[in-house]
């Protein structure tokens, strides 16, 4: 074995130390996120969710916290992205399927509402912050906009060659998405009506997707 091969196959002390540090930071980051989830699940206003409470629950130092996150808003922002990760997982492509059935649409809405229900504590914190804090409002709106754009993509495919499609499918998708977001605000406060909300949203979307424009009767010649 050549000297060059031997040297390349052995990691330098500095690279080993850097990798070890990266793993420690990642572990601390996950502990901070998990602790914040636990604290949010216990209830109480986000204003009382201090960095001191987070680090105490996570078992890390304040210095470690600030290595991982600039502030508590960044922690909740990361949890927001994780809570909305379903937007990349659900089968939204069915909206473009001309053979879409009401049953499949109902299942999609139930799945999405189920994700919201599973993340109620985090979403309640996000909603509270987004209402009053510009630092949280921007990321939240950006995440919802991504959902609207994903929906618009499917709408455009569905209505590409249809005379019944709207003139502006992007705005229709945006309006529906923000309507959905408002409904899920209510779910955060009152979980009892989740099934009814899911089916009602499915009803609205189904009527939109299956709408046909009234056809004018042919004019008879005199």
Asked whether residue 3 carries a pLDDT value surpassing 70, the answer given is no
pLDDT for 51 equals 95
- Identify whether residues 103 and 150 lie together within a single domain: yes
> Is residue 143 a part of any domain in this protein?
yes
Q: Indicate the number of domains in the chain.
A: 2
CATH label of the domain that carries residue 31: 1.10.10
Q: Would you say 158 and 152 are in contact if contact means Cβ atoms under 8 Å apart?
A: no
Structural contact between residues 115 and 143, judged by C-beta atoms closer than 8 angstroms: no
Model confidence at 219, pLDDT cuts 50, 70, 90, reads low
Residues 56 and 119 in one domain: no
Q: Same domain for 153 and 53?
A: no
Closest to 86 (Cα-Cα) out of 68, 54, 112: 112
- Domain check: are 57 and 156 in the same one? no
More confident: 136 or 147: 147
In this model, does residue 222 exceed pLDDT 70? no
Question: Residue 114's closest CA among 215, 176, 195, 39?
Answer: 195
Q: What is the pLDDT of residue 218?
A: 65
Q: Is residue 24 domain-resident?
A: yes
Are 171 and 159 in contact, with CB atoms under 8 Å apart? no
- CATH code for the domain in which residue 123 is found: 1.10.357
117 is in which domain, residue-wise?
81-209
148, 193: one domain: yes
pLDDT value at position 184? 76
Highest mean pLDDT among 87-91, 111-115, 182-186, 204-208: 204-208
Decide which of 110 and 24 is more confident. 110
Whether the predicted pLDDT of 16 surpasses 80: no
List, for residues 62-104, the tens digit of each pLDDT value. Answer: 999 999 999 988 898 888 878 777 777 777 789 999 899 999 9
Say if 216 falls within a structural domain: no
Residue 35 lies inside a defined structural domain of this protein: yes
Domain annotation covers residue 198: yes
Residues 53 and 115 in one domain: no
123 within domain boundaries = yes
Please give the mean pLDDT across all residues of the chain: 84
> Which stretch of 42-46, 48-52, 53-57, 181-185 has the lowest confidence by average pLDDT?
42-46
């Amino acid at each position: 074995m050549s000297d060059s091969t031997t040297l390349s196959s052995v990691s330098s002390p500095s690279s080993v130390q850097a990798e070890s540090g990266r793993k420690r930071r990642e572990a601390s980051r996950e502990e901070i996120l998990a602790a914040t989830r636990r604290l949010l699940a216990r209830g109480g206003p986000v204003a009382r969710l201090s960095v001191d409470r987070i680090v105490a629950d996570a078992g890390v130092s304040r210095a470690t916290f600030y290595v991982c996150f600039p502030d508590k808003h960044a922690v909740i922002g990361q949890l927001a992205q994780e809570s909305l990760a379903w937007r990349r997982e659900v089968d939204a492509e069915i909206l473009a399927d001309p053979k879409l059935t009401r049953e499949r649409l109902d299942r999609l809405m139930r799945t999405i509402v189920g994700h919201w229900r599973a993340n109620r504590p985090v979403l309640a914190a996000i909603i509270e912050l987004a209402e009053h804090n510009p630092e949280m409002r921007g990321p939240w709106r950006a995440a919802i906009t991504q959902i609207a754009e994903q929906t618009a993509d499917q709408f455009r495919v569905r209505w590409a060659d249809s005379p019944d499609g709207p003139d502006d499918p992007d705005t229709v998708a945006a309006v529906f998405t923000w309507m959905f977001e408002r409904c899920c605000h209510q779910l955060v406060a009152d979980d009892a009506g989740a099934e009814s909300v899911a089916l009602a949203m499915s009803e609205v979307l189904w009527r939109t997707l299956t709408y046909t424009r009234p056809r004018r009767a042919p004019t008879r010649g005199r």
